[in-house]
Structure 1
Amino acid sequence: MPKGFFAAVVALATVSSMSTFIATSAVAAPLCDKFGFAGLLAKCNRGEPIELTLASGQPLGKGDVALQSGAYYEMRITADGSAEIGISGASFFRAIWLNEVVINGIEVRPMALDSLEFDKAGVATMSFIAIKPGVYEVRIPNTTSDSQKVTISIQ
């Protein structure tokens, strides 16, 4: 077979697989089409807030969470002060673009986050854009119960 024929077959297969990839990845679009000046942080691109509670003997969340890639979310983590409790989820925190973490009115804009720990009662609010599709787990460290974790999927 001529070398040109083989190259043409490889090129056609590559274009075909790329068009399939583009068609399937376009399904996970942001929540709105008209971002305006605010871009991805636009009000129309915001998903429902995620509520997590850190309390001794209580479930972490109300169930699994599904997020849309490219959409903006807020995660509110409330600790009741009943114990020194943290939350970890390095794989999830690496799959999002973290806008800011607000703790007691102080805005922190970190490059990355591995975990948060509460020594007293308080609230931390994280705002972020979901980026990398997949299934992730956020949990109270050193626990094994299913009620002490929340599964978050980014679609």
Structure 2
Amino acid sequence: MRFLIALALLLGLAATAAFAESDGDEAPPAGLLAAGNKEKLPEVMLSVGEPMGGPWVLKSGTYYTVKITSDGSGEIGLTGADFFHAVWVDEVVIEGLEVRPMGLQSVEFDEPGTMKITFIAVKPGQYALMIPGSTGADQRLAITIE
């Protein structure tokens, strides 16, 4: 048992020394949640009869943050199961409360407020977020994941 512990320590020290001997310009991979991989999307404003904005063109593998705000002019929801299934939702923040869901299908505002959704775009394709029951092109946010 002591031999295994000593071997593990020796291997750990060797790996540390090998990293320290590099030119110093190299950094270990930062990963998908690193600051250099994050982008902020324009805020989505929800108001009865008003355009939602867009379109968005997203890159697969990039970490995005979007604020969605309702002005309270009506009970407004956003559906987009196909879009939400094409991304990995990291968290949804509502009034300082963080929710880390396994996935989303839709969100709804019963009163004025803002939520922040952070996600990683995963599956390339054409998607949309829509206000349920609306038919106007302005009540839809077109999204492309490349």
TM-score by length of 2: 0.78
Partners of 1:35 and 1:67 in 2: how far apart? 22
Of 50, 59, 64, which aligns to 2:55?
64
SS in 1 for 2:83: helix
Q: Deviations over 1:113-152 (max 9, x none)?
A: 0101100000011000000000101110100000000110
1:101 pairs with one of 92, 95, 119: 92
Q: Which of 1 and 2 has greater Rg?
A: 2
Structure 1-normalised TM-score? 0.74
SS of structure 1 residue aligned to 2:40 = coil
1:116 to 107, 112, 115: 107
Could you tell me which residue of structure 1 aligns to residue 144 of structure 2?
153
Q: Distance in 1 between matches of 2:78 and 2:41?
A: 17
Pair 1:88 & 2:79 matched:
yes
Instruction: Measure the CA separation in 1 of the matches of 2:140 and 2:120.
Output: 21
Residue 48 of structure 1 deviates from its aligned partner by 3.1
Separation of aligned partners in 2, 1:79 and 1:34: 41
Aligned AA (1:72):
Y
Where 1:44 maps in the other structure, the secondary structure is: helix
Does the CA contact (< 8 Å) of 2:41 and 2:64 recur in 1?
yes
**2:40–2:66 contact (8 Å) kept in structure 1:** no
Count of aligned residue pairs for this structure pair: 120
C-alpha displacement at 1:112, in angstroms?
1.0
The amino acid that maps onto 1:124 is: M
- What is the match of residue 13 of structure 1? none
Provide the alpha-carbon RMSD of the alignment. 1.4
Distance in 2 of aligned mates of 1:51 and 1:35: 30
Q: Give the drift of 1:84.
A: 0.5
CA contact (8 A) 1:137 1:149 kept: yes
Structure 1 spans left out of the alignment, 5+ residues: 1-32
**In structure 1, the residue corresponding to 2:32 is in which secondary structure?**
helix
Distance 1:145 1:35, change over 3 A: farther
